[in-house]
Structure 1
Amino acid sequence: MRNNTTPEWFDQFHDFTYDATVGLKSNFQRLAAARQWGTARKSAQWVSCQTVTFDSVYGTDTTKLEVWQELCREVYIKNPPKSIKGCKKVLGSRNVLVNLVNLIDHRLSGAKVIRFPNHDAFWAYTSKGRKFPLSEAKKDGFIKVLLRQL
């Protein structure tokens, strides 16, 4: 599922041109460098960028079974459960290890979703600055179900 548009979070920076071929993190890094953000500002803006963009591309309506089932299919669950509770259970399993920034890139540009075979592979990929804000784990929704502790 592709939409090939600039994520709405970037719209506030009128002089910045989003490059859909390089992914969310690379675009953010380029913007942060151009704006010369310090570490604290960059960190806060990255949290905002990820959260707003994830909600924009995946939505926030967690009451629709078909949305949960589509998410299951995107992370290679072939036969999604027939209930939201079932989808949450299977997506929350320790066997479903996906990077949320990669999921954003999948929706934005068609990047292949990476489902990691084990926690070590997941950690190696995610620990390279591809972390999603842990504060989002407290909110109910898609992020909470998919977020894993490193």
Structure 2
Amino acid sequence: MASASQVALLQAWASDIGHVVDTASSPKAEFARLAQAKGWVGGDAAWCSRWKECFGEAYPYGQHDRPATAENTTTSEEGGVCLSARMRRLSITSDASSFSVISRISRANSFDSVKSFDSQISLDSKNNVQLAPRSAASTDSHNTVAQQKPAAGPGSAGCEEMTQMVGKLSLSGSTDKKGSNPAWDQFIGFKHSPTAPFKSEFERLAQTKGWGDSEKQRQFVTLLSSEVAFFWHADEDKLYHCQDLCRDLDLGAMSNTVTQYKKALKPLKINIYSVLDNKRNPKIKIVQYQSHSKLKKSIRKSGTFPREAAKAGSGCLTVLLSKL
């Protein structure tokens, strides 16, 4: 149940539109209902500032640290080349003597667990961790992703020891419940499955609510935009999202400019719904089609991805839009 101060805030924000706050409902569910009525998109500036004011914490969703997944995974599309889901990323700062590991705990509690270690090892360009393309990607000009065994070098023994310690901590976080977009909480009586494909979950919701065609389409675009903003929210750097997307597509790190990443992503023939479903559930593989005709066949089956939704959050998904 919401506290008196939270109820007062929500009622104040709702007063200009005549929205009624349900004081018996959970505060985050009521926040999500009000956000839809006010037109706030999950992860945008208005949403985040009001979330912090209401709950006393930074908006915690849309993070990209996902647990490692099993080798045997399922695919949401047929007829294409399967792309592996990315492995857990461990962030090591190359110009300092410490690094931090963020392991996800239940997003229901809206927190991330941060653990730090100090090291006397200086990681620079001459003594860097050498990794296979899938296991390493540069998240910015100073950060390197580390997994598996580092290459031999003056500080490699210390690096390996720290990586092993980090691995043990990371594994403990991999069993935690995966969080989901809080916008689903506004639909009272509907139990959202955060790992199910987005479209099948929305169809189940629409059937439960009995929406007509017009209302169903409106709710679809609104919820899809919120889902995109949840995973690729505007508060993070667009370059980071492009790098993250390339890792999801098994392209690795190629440059430090958004333009270069767009050039690499533009030719790909991918149904954007499979990219979103992979974020919801890493066991669902992203499929890259080898011909435009096969992509068109997939899109005819799933439906087109609304441009409005692709532009949500940081807008990085627009590069994957294709002309049919």
Matching residue of 2:289: 116
Q: Matched residues in 2 for 1:122 and 1:35: separation?
A: 32
From 294, 299, 302, the counterpart of 1:126: 299
- Tell me which residue corresponds to 2:258: 84
47-56 or 19-28: which moved more? Answer: 19-28
5+ long unaligned stretches in structure 1: none
Distance 1:119 1:79, change over 3 A: same
Q: Which moved more, 1:49-58 or 1:18-27?
A: 18-27
- In the other structure, the counterpart of 1:8 is 182
Separation in 2 of the partners of 1:25 and 1:145? 21
Q: Is the 8 A contact 2:307 2:318 kept in 1?
A: no
Show CA shifts across 1:100-132 (max 9, x none).
221111111112111121211111111123421
Shift of 1:49: 1.6
Q: Secondary structure at the match of 1:112?
A: strand
Distance in 2, matches of 1:60 and 1:120, equals 33
1:107 partnered with 2:315? no
Hey, what does 1:19 align to over in structure 2?
A: 193
**TM-score, normalised on structure 2?**
0.42
Partner-residue secondary structure (3-state), 2:302: coil
Q: Deviations over 1:22-45 (max 9, x none)?
A: 311111000101111111111111
Post-superposition shift, 1:88?
A: 1.5
State the percentage of identical aligned residues: 27
Q: Per residue, is there more helix in 1 or in 2?
A: 1
Larger of the two Rg values belongs to structure: 2
Q: What letter corresponds to residue 48 of structure 1 in structure 2?
A: T
Aligned residue for 1:59, secondary structure, equals coil
1:64 & 1:29 partners in 2: Cα distance? 31
The one of the two structures with greater contact order (alpha-carbon pairs below 8 A, sep at least 6) is 1
Q: Flag structure 2 segments of 5+ consecutive residues without an equivalent.
A: 1-65, 68-176
Q: Is the 8 A contact 2:228 2:310 kept in 1?
A: no
Moved more, 73-82 or 135-144: 135-144
Q: Could you say what secondary structure the match of 2:178 adopts?
A: coil
Letter in 2 for 1:71: L
Q: Report which stretch shifted further, 67-76 or 131-140.
A: 131-140
Structure 2 counterpart of 1:104, one-letter code: L
Aligned residues: 148
More strand by share: 2
Distance 1:118 1:61 in 2: 35
Bigger Cα displacement from structure 2, 24-33 vs 83-92: 83-92
Q: Distance in 2 between matches of 1:138 and 1:16?
A: 27
Opposite residue 188 of structure 2, the aligned amino acid is H
Deviation at residue 6 of structure 1 after TM alignment: 2.9
Q: 1:9 to 1:130 in 2, by over 3 A?
A: farther
The 1-side partners of 2:180 and 2:214 are apart by: 25
The alignment yields a C-alpha RMSD, in angstroms, of: 2.3
What SS does the aligned partner of 1:78 have? coil
The 10-residue stretch of structure 1 (24-33 or 13-22) with the greater mean CA deviation from structure 2? 13-22
Is the Cα–Cα contact under 8 Å of residues 62 and 141 in structure 1 kept in the other structure?
no
CA distance in 2: counterparts of 1:41 and 1:14, whole angstroms:
17
Aligned to 2:208: 34
